Amino acid sequence: MNDDLVFSGVQPTGNLHLGNYLGAIKNWVDFQTSKKCIFCIVDLHAITSSENRKELSENTKQVAAAYIASGIDPKKSTVFVQSNIEGHSELAWILSCHTPIGWLNRMTQFKDKAGKNKEKAPLGLYSYPVLMAADILLYKSNYVPVGDDQKQHLELCRDIAQSFNRFYDTNFFPLPEPIITGTATRVMSLKDGKKKMSKSDPSDQSRINMTDTADIIQKKIQRARTDSLPFPEDDTELKDRPEVENLINIYLSISGEKKQNIFKEFSGRDFKGFKEALSETVVSRMSKISNEMNKLLSDKDYLNAILLDGFNKAKEISETNMREIKKIIKFYSK
């Protein structure tokens, strides 16, 4: 049995930004040296929201290109599209029968996304965490690197796995562990440090898109909100300064620099120097990635071949596991 499997995914929502990169994709790259990895483009999740239902296939290729450009090696890792593999929806149904409604009612992301108009929210948005559990458990995954905002969904996934295992008196599903690493697992808006960086923020100034040019990145960082206090000396001076903390986290995450060194270098000064250093760091990393993404997107055959290969690898594991799951449930077998 493989007990070293990493699984994660990003939704093809269009307009990938720094939050997707630092909060997710960047942290996946290093796992490839020590573990078997499966990275999925979760398009079934994307259609839970009406604004994501357009240009699905282009956006799917964009995420695939972002994975590869960021350092996911398709020879080592399995990269595939969720909707290509039937097992995700099928297992989601089975797991939904092991998920009390009360558990779903606690999910804060649903409450945030559905807003006031809960009665009009689609059922799929509500049951989305069950589909996420199915993604993870279909491959019997052990580790799931995710951003901080997905922690609650991971806990639910473990509860569902346990509920299934207990009912059928089996230990078929492992209990996957969330891995929340990195200094910027939650990248915030450049305009409001209390809001997550998001592609649906009406202001483009609030985020750095993975396809922004160097010039645009520089301007956005220059105009990013800070405050009138000088650059902090230590962590205590970061209290109640979410915008400053966010910029520092972005810098640390990309540069790999130690926090103490940043405090030493910039403390007491205004933000001009720090913002220049930050711009340089972000531009040098992101422009490499966006160039590579553009190259990949102009060679569709190459990307398609990667996704086909990933599909074949994912199909084999998912079909084996689905057969086992059906045996455990004792469904009639033709």
Decide if 334 is catalytic: no
Q: Looking at 8-16, 53-61, 70-78, 90-98, which segment touches ligand TRP (CB under 6 A)?
A: 8-16
Q: Does 135 bind ligand TRP (CB under 6 A)?
A: yes
CB 9 within 8 A of CB 82: yes
Supply the DSSP symbol for 268.
T
Q: Identify the active-site residue in 113, 219, 259, 315.
A: 113
Q: Of 255, 275, 253, 277, which Cα lies nearest the Cα of 20?
A: 253
Decide if 300 is catalytic: no
C-beta of 7 vs 31, nearer to ligand TRP:
7
Q: Does 199 bind ligand TRP (CB under 6 A)?
A: no
Q: Looking at 2-10, 70-78, 206-214, 263-271, which segment touches ligand TRP (CB under 6 A)?
A: 2-10
Q: Of 161, 177, 156, which Cα lies nearest the Cα of 109?
A: 156
Q: Looking at 4-12, 190-198, 232-240, 258-266, which segment touches ligand TRP (CB under 6 A)?
A: 4-12
C-beta of 150 vs 246, nearer to ligand TRP:
150
- Binder of ligand TRP out of 5, 6, 9, 187 (CB under 6 A): 9
C-beta of 46 vs 278, nearer to ligand TRP:
46
**Among all chains, which residue has been given the structure tokens 């006031």?**
116
C-beta of 42 vs 187, nearer to ligand TRP:
42
Q: Is 221 strand, coil or helix?
A: helix
In 86-113, which positions are buried (b, 16+ CB within 10 angstroms) versus exposed (e)? ebbebbbebbbebbeeebbeebeebeee
Question: Of residues 42-81, which lie at the interface with ligand TRP (CB under 6 A)?
Answer: 42, 45
Size of the residue set binding ligand TRP (CB under 6 A): 12
Q: Identify the active-site residue in 140, 199, 220, 275.
A: 199
- Binder of ligand TRP out of 11, 70, 127, 209 (CB under 6 A): 11
Decide if 194 is catalytic: no
C-beta of 136 vs 224, nearer to ligand TRP:
136
Q: List helix spans (H) across the chain.
A: 18-20, 26-28, 43-46, 56-69, 87-96, 101-105, 108-114, 123-138, 151-167, 214-222, 242-255, 259-266, 271-298, 300-329
Q: Identify the active-site residue in 61, 196, 220, 275.
A: 196
State the minimum distance, in angstroms, from the CB of residue 201 to ligand TRP: 16
What is the rounded (10 degree) CA torsion for 178, 181, 184, 188? 10
Structure tokens belonging to residue 88:
């995700």
CB atoms within 10 A of CB 75: 7
Q: Looking at 129-137, 162-170, 210-218, 234-242, which segment touches ligand TRP (CB under 6 A)?
A: 129-137
Reported residue count of the chain is: 334
CB 296 within 8 A of CB 303: yes
Q: Does 136 bind ligand TRP (CB under 6 A)?
A: yes
C-beta of 110 vs 266, nearer to ligand TRP:
110
State the minimum distance, in angstroms, from the CB of residue 162 to ligand TRP: 18
Measure Cα distances from 279 to 209, 250, 272 in Å. Answer: 14, 10, 11
The residues that are catalytic are 113, 196, 199
- Contact residues toward ligand TRP (CB under 6 A) are 7-9, 11, 42, 45, 132, 135-136, 144, 146, 150
